[in-house]
Chains A and B, each alone.
Chain A
């Protein structure tokens, strides 16, 4: 392993930071043109520096890393954390995805937000988000990663509630923030566990390389719990990941996050931030691999989430909500890959998903933009003539997410399913195959309902229906190309350059060792059959027999309503978590404890003082002779005391 200092890594963070400062302080004064230029430019240059670093890294032997220590951060006795960046194969991939896709979405935003007055604030938040995300992926220690982790959470909140004058939007922003806090509490406890246990052995550090070097400590059984340290820390950290990456049980915020501007959904709630949990698990693979319990849990949660979210997606009428549940489902695939030990496959899917899901969201944004804010697919239809570019690019993204051979999603999803099967997780594999079927069904349902069939568009909106300007369609083109070729970096073994991507990541993620060897082609064919079946169903229901979906939903009314209401999970959480908490906070804590108890003590003591003062102040008569009398008695008393002392 070779590490080389590479100070320019600091630039990757500095440029978005400058963008934030520019957009906050100068943006409103210099106007829209300056902001539209500076916001995307900062990210583009950061992407350029990232490419330069990546090229440098590629020229070095495998397993190398570029590092820079910007400044010492925390020095407390032996505990030592630096503000240090480290770009190895894993963070290089993530940096390029974040800054590259981020830059495209920034450009798209310039068109999408063209009619919004708050463009400067928007780009300031977007740059701040990119900065935080880059800190997250470039951090060389867990604590700095947590800074980025919290930073992206904050930006997510700010951007979901971007149109904060709408109470529902503001509420959804708070919901995302609070749900993420629950996960973050787990993350913090995980960090503290690691500090505590490693510190007890004198390893006062949280740098990933040092933690990896001390993994024998993490493998030991921790007496208070009777399980390895890695299990405790791993489960706590995974709780953080379920919050950020929207997995069961903390996924509820992501669908509601769709009220933010659509480019935000593309960048934060599809391509980058929500994959932070996957990145974290893969980054700490040396820790998770020590704990079969945690790995098993991750794989199970991931498989179930992926299926569960897909079932909800098939009935949602809102175009963005379908994509939101699809995101949850796809992140489930990523965690499934990581959970069965094929960490590189998870990251591979993170990358391809970033391309095609960002594209899907941007296309959805283009549709919404064309329809002046309409998001209900029941009021779309037949749009492909009016929006040919959007239609073509969205179709490519849909083929990619449905894992049609040749498109990027095929390679990554196939690798995950193959890893799941070959590691002996047959049930999870089967769940994954069924989910693949559901995925292609809901995605083609979306395409058919939006672009095909007869137009159900509101006549007023249909009048000024228009294709988006080039500033929005060019990013669509680029992402469409990436959605196709993005998967070609990792072909099946033995074909051309083979699994180049996995080999590139192997020094960081370790190598995946299958338990059984079943031909990848056979597994791939089963998944493909499942996918095609989904497309066929979608075609039958939404093109061939458009009246069938209504009949089916009438026949299975109970099931349909359950799915439409997302299994009533929000209602359940409200009943089980929110209501009791509000009850404790309101009637109990606020009224009883605070108003009754604490205010009672404070007000009571004040009242006692006031009453006694009221009683005693009568002594002050204002009559000088009374004072003289009291004074005289005092003198006499003192004199008497001295007389007593003498005659005693």
Chain B
């Protein structure tokens, strides 16, 4: 069986990360920004898994488990904050949630 070379995984991971970063920077909807962050996290996960496999080390897979845990927590708290903000401001537009400024 022909195995996929690690560089392909790395390229895919980098591409996904770039898409996620672009999403965070460009989109104004906070929920979409949160989804883009998930995408970035999973891009990193993919890279870890690929390198773990090609290097024959279990370390990368362990870290991925942690990342998944943190991502779940982040999604929960992030959505809670967004709901709270929406109740107060009736918007989820990042441009309008700018109270913390000069």
Interface residue? B71 (CB, 8 A): no
* Residues from chain A with Cβ under 8 Å of B102 in the complex: 617-618, 620-622
Known contacts A632-B21, A632-B25; A625 and B101 CB within 8 A of each other: no
Interface residue? A629 (CB, 8 A): yes
Interface residue? A576 (CB, 8 A): no
Interface residue? B95 (CB, 8 A): yes
Interface residue? B15 (CB, 8 A): no
- Among B84-102, those with CB < 8 Å from A are 94-95, 97-102
- Among A598-636, those with CB < 8 Å from B are 617-618, 620-625, 628-629, 632
A622 and B102 CA atoms in complex are apart in Å by 8
Please determine whether B101 and A628 come into contact, CB atoms closer than 8 angstroms.
no
Q: Which of A618, A621, A622, A628 contacts B25 (CB 8 A)?
A: A628
Q: Which of B25, B99, B100 contacts A625 (CB 8 A)?
A: B25
* Residues from chain B with Cβ under 8 Å of A623 in the complex: 94-95, 98, 101
A621 and B33 CA atoms in complex are apart in Å by 18
* Residues from chain B with Cβ under 8 Å of A620 in the complex: 100-102
B98 to chain A, nearest CB (A): 4
Please determine whether B98 and A622 come into contact, CB atoms closer than 8 angstroms.
yes
Interface residue? B16 (CB, 8 A): no
A1 and B55 CA atoms in complex are apart in Å by 106
Interface residue? B49 (CB, 8 A): no
Interface residue? B24 (CB, 8 A): yes
A618, A620, A625, most chain B CB atoms within 10 A: A625
16 extra interface residue pairs, beta carbon distance < 8 Å, beyond A622-B98, A622-B101: A617-B102, A618-B102, A620-B100, A620-B101, A620-B102, A622-B100, A623-B95, A623-B98, A623-B101, A624-B97, A625-B24, A625-B25, A625-B33, A628-B24, A628-B25, A629-B25
A348 to chain B, nearest CB (A): 85
* Residues from chain B with Cβ under 8 Å of A624 in the complex: 33, 94, 97
22 CB-based A-B contacts, threshold 8 Å: A617-B102, A618-B102, A620-B100, A620-B101, A621-B98, A621-B101, A622-B98, A622-B99, A622-B101, A622-B102, A623-B94, A623-B95, A623-B98, A623-B101, A624-B33, A624-B94, A624-B97, A625-B24, A625-B25, A625-B33, A628-B24, A632-B21
* Residues from chain B with Cβ under 8 Å of A632 in the complex: 21, 25
B102 closest partner in A (C-beta): A617
A632 and B24 CA atoms in complex are apart in Å by 11
A622 and B94 CA atoms in complex are apart in Å by 10
A620, A621, A623, A629, most chain B CB atoms within 10 A: A623
Give the dominant DSSP class at A's interface. helix
- Among B14-29, those with CB < 8 Å from A are 21, 24-25
A632 and B21 CA atoms in complex are apart in Å by 9
* Residues from chain A with Cβ under 8 Å of B98 in the complex: 621-623
A557 and B45 CA atoms in complex are apart in Å by 113
A617 and B102 CA atoms in complex are apart in Å by 6
- Among B54-96, those with CB < 8 Å from A are 94-95
Pairs of residues from A and B, 3 with the lowest C-beta to C-beta distance, nearest first: A622-B101, A622-B98, A617-B102
B24 to chain A, nearest CB (A): 6
A628 and B21 CA atoms in complex are apart in Å by 9
* Residues from chain B with Cβ under 8 Å of A625 in the complex: 24-25, 33, 94
A629 and B102 CA atoms in complex are apart in Å by 19
* Residues from chain B with Cβ under 8 Å of A628 in the complex: 24-25
A386 and B50 CA atoms in complex are apart in Å by 125
A550 to chain B, nearest CB (A): 84
A3 and B29 CA atoms in complex are apart in Å by 101
* Residues from chain A with Cβ under 8 Å of B101 in the complex: 620-623
B31 to chain A, nearest CB (A): 13
A621 and B95 CA atoms in complex are apart in Å by 10
A385-412 Cβ-contact flags toward B at 8 Å (1 or 0): 0000000000000000000000000000
A620 and B98 CA atoms in complex are apart in Å by 10
A620 and B97 CA atoms in complex are apart in Å by 13
* Residues from chain B with Cβ under 8 Å of A621 in the complex: 98, 101-102
A639 to chain B, nearest CB (A): 12
A621 and B96 CA atoms in complex are apart in Å by 11
B40 to chain A, nearest CB (A): 11
A618, A628, A629, most chain B CB atoms within 10 A: A628
B37 closest partner in A (C-beta): A628
A559 to chain B, nearest CB (A): 80
A623 closest partner in B (C-beta): B98
A632 and B23 CA atoms in complex are apart in Å by 13
A123 and B101 CA atoms in complex are apart in Å by 67
A260 and B55 CA atoms in complex are apart in Å by 102
A157-187 Cβ-contact flags toward B at 8 Å (1 or 0): 0000000000000000000000000000000
B30 closest partner in A (C-beta): A624
A625 and B98 CA atoms in complex are apart in Å by 10
A270-300 Cβ-contact flags toward B at 8 Å (1 or 0): 0000000000000000000000000000000
A618 and B99 CA atoms in complex are apart in Å by 14
* Residues from chain A with Cβ under 8 Å of B25 in the complex: 625, 628-629, 632
B97 closest partner in A (C-beta): A624
A618 and B101 CA atoms in complex are apart in Å by 8
* Residues from chain B with Cβ under 8 Å of A629 in the complex: 25
* Residues from chain A with Cβ under 8 Å of B21 in the complex: 632
A632 closest partner in B (C-beta): B21
A635 closest partner in B (C-beta): B21
B47 to chain A, nearest CB (A): 14
B38 to chain A, nearest CB (A): 15
B99 closest partner in A (C-beta): A622
A144 to chain B, nearest CB (A): 65
A632 and B17 CA atoms in complex are apart in Å by 12
A624 and B95 CA atoms in complex are apart in Å by 8
A614 to chain B, nearest CB (A): 9
A12 to chain B, nearest CB (A): 73
A617 and B101 CA atoms in complex are apart in Å by 9
A624 and B82 CA atoms in complex are apart in Å by 13
A220 and B100 CA atoms in complex are apart in Å by 80
A622 and B21 CA atoms in complex are apart in Å by 19
A629 and B24 CA atoms in complex are apart in Å by 9
A637 to chain B, nearest CB (A): 15
A632 and B40 CA atoms in complex are apart in Å by 13
A632 and B37 CA atoms in complex are apart in Å by 13
B41 to chain A, nearest CB (A): 15
B93 to chain A, nearest CB (A): 11
A312 and B95 CA atoms in complex are apart in Å by 90
A188 and B19 CA atoms in complex are apart in Å by 84
A629 closest partner in B (C-beta): B25
B39 to chain A, nearest CB (A): 14
B101 closest partner in A (C-beta): A622
A338-349 Cβ-contact flags toward B at 8 Å (1 or 0): 000000000000
* Residues from chain A with Cβ under 8 Å of B97 in the complex: 624
* Residues from chain A with Cβ under 8 Å of B94 in the complex: 623-625
